[in-house]
Amino acid sequence: MDRADIERRIGARSFARLLGDWRPPDGKGLAGALADRIRLLVLDGRLPLQTRLPAERELAAAVSVSRTTVATSYEALRSAGVLRSRRGAGSWTQLPAGPPDDSGPSPFSPLGDSPLYDLAHAALPAPREPLRAAATAAVQDLDALLAGHGYDLGGQPALRSAIADRYTARGLPTTPDQVLVTAGGVHAIHLALTVLAGPGDRVLVEHPTYPNALGAVAARGARPVPVPMAPGPGGASRWDLDLLTSAVRDAAPRLAYVIPDFQNPTGALLDDAGRAQLVDLARRTSTTLLVDETLADLTLDGPAAMPVATHGATDSPLVLSIGSASKTFWGGLRIGWIRTSAAMVRRLAAARAGVDLGGPVLEQLVVARLLAQHDSLTASRRCELVAARDHLLGSIARTFPGWRPSRPGGGLSLWVDLGRPVSSRLTGAARRHDVLLAAGPRFGLDGAFERYLRLPFTLRQNRMAEAVDRLAAAWTELDRPGTAVAGEPVAVA
């Protein structure tokens, strides 16, 4: 995203980059393909609503097509309700009023009414019985709090203590006043950016990275500084810490957002030496680290890594560690947190006061109860996930011999090199088979990662097998003329 997006107008060159590789392989049906790609960008939120598009002539020059081609695409988009134009003034993106014309389920309600295969959310169902038991116990715990007013900017003391104890057990001594409870990890990212970065400030991000973090950076009006993840052995990715160091030196970012534990989407794990190097870099350059450890509990092979903050002073405001109950327990709890210095927690708490005055009490009590059984709950989750990962890798090897998936040592998804820049087209085709995907470019800037697809292994085994069969059908349709692109879901987790 650049300043053009913030001002809700996009220049022809930026737009051409965002469009990525949209041309059909046979070069036919250019106007339709261009319209499909623009529609996809609007529906999945990569092109914000009310953005003024470049004039026909400018776009035609930027993407090397005739002006008639662009005019035909814009006309098709107007008919589909995705574009609104005023003569002489320009054309703006908008949401179509009715359901999309492909009569599939709405992309804005990912679960809809139909039995969708949701691979846009890398998230598991709740552990049913333990969660019900924790909720019942939490209702009892609530009694002791009902005489108070219930507002607490920092979070419920019982939960702050449980989170602090968990860090201490992982080797990072922590007191409850070093923990701020948030409404999930995404809220934590937004809050940290609100306090630590202003409009125009640079924020370093891994590339690819978690789409909602890119969204939070854009929403703050900050400028992302993407640092590419490097290719590792066998489809894996790794951090190039030399590159990261020079990016920090060159760009002097206000903040660096990193996901060292099973990086979303690549699944990479930063080793202890890399973690120490990162904290050292942050200290030498006074760059605050926003460390997203949302997936840290989901280790599938080998021992868990130590939290990044263990490599510095345990009460330093230079490292903000983000955690969440969403992947360890359940996304529906909407509980996350930030662990940092007590003084920084007070700053963050003051900043949230104008927005939500604190989180819901009952859910916090439920998570405090669940954290008391953390080890047994995560152990069973891991067994299921190891089987699910290996099953999906096996199905891919059999069904798509040309794909090169990563084999992550943890987390919830594979990052697959498709061998061709067709991720958005596959996503559109898969929608017709009731499979929801998040295309590779969701995880990057300027249309990057069109050759990649994130594939979560979070469905039950028989549903996953069916989803792979449906993907295989979609894959064979990619080059068929007239395969229009349907929308992606707005939400990706």
Ligand X SMILES: Cc1ncc(COP(=O)(O)O)c(C=O)c1O
The C-alpha atoms of residue 263 and residue 364 are separated, in whole angstroms, by 26
CB neighbours of residue 58 within 10 Å: 17
Helix (H) or strand (E) holding 257: strand 255-258
Shortest CB 264 distance to ligand X, Å: 4
Number of residues that bind ligand X (CB under 6 A): 15
Shortest CB 188 distance to ligand X, Å: 8
The C-alpha atoms of residue 216 and residue 248 are separated, in whole angstroms, by 20
Structure tokens that stand for 478 in this block: 């990619």
Contact 429, 474 (CB under 8 A): yes
Residue nearest to ligand X (CB): 184
Shortest CB 139 distance to ligand X, Å: 23
Contacts of residue 397, Cβ cutoff 8 Å, sequence gap at least 6: none
User: Quick one: which of 336, 358, 409, 447 contacts ligand X (CB under 6 A)?
Assistant: 336
Decide: is 211 part of the binding site for ligand X (CB under 6 A): no
Decide: is 324 part of the binding site for ligand X (CB under 6 A): yes
For the chain, how big is the Rg over CA atoms in Å?
23
User: Quick one: which of 186, 191, 229, 436 contacts ligand X (CB under 6 A)?
Assistant: 186
Q: Label residue 347 exposed, middle or buried (CB < 10 Å: 0-12, 13-18, 19+).
A: middle
The C-alpha atoms of residue 112 and residue 486 are separated, in whole angstroms, by 15
Quick check: helix, strand or coil at residue 176?
A: helix
User: Quick one: which of 54, 107, 176, 185 contacts ligand X (CB under 6 A)?
Assistant: 185
Q: Which stretch binds ligand X (CB under 6 A): 16-24, 289-297, 387-395, 427-435?
A: 289-297
Residues in the chain: 493
How far, in Å, are 218, 271, 325 from residue 6 at the CA level?
Answer: 8, 37, 32
Shortest CB 119 distance to ligand X, Å: 13
User: N- to C-terminal Cα distance for the chain?
Assistant: 20
Which residue, 205 or 474, is less far from ligand X as judged by CB?
A: 205
Structure tokens that stand for 454 in this block: 């994130």
Shortest CB 373 distance to ligand X, Å: 19
Which residue, 105 or 184, is less far from ligand X as judged by CB?
A: 184
Decide: is 210 part of the binding site for ligand X (CB under 6 A): yes
Which residue, 210 or 415, is less far from ligand X as judged by CB?
A: 210
Which residue, 226 or 421, is less far from ligand X as judged by CB?
A: 226
Q: Smallest Cα–Cα separation from 399: which of 460, 464, 449, 443?
A: 464
Site for ligand X in 94-123 (CB under 6 A): 122
Shortest CB 20 distance to ligand X, Å: 23
Decide: is 331 part of the binding site for ligand X (CB under 6 A): yes
Decide: is 264 part of the binding site for ligand X (CB under 6 A): yes
Decide: is 328 part of the binding site for ligand X (CB under 6 A): no
Structure tokens that stand for 296 in this block: 């840290």
Task: Specify which residues 101 forms β-bridges with.
Answer: none
Decide: is 489 part of the binding site for ligand X (CB under 6 A): no
Decide: is 72 part of the binding site for ligand X (CB under 6 A): no
Q: Which stretch binds ligand X (CB under 6 A): 48-56, 107-115, 296-304, 324-332?
A: 324-332
Which residues of the chain form contacts with ligand X (CB under 6 A)?
122, 184-186, 210, 259, 264, 292, 294-295, 324, 326, 331, 336, 493
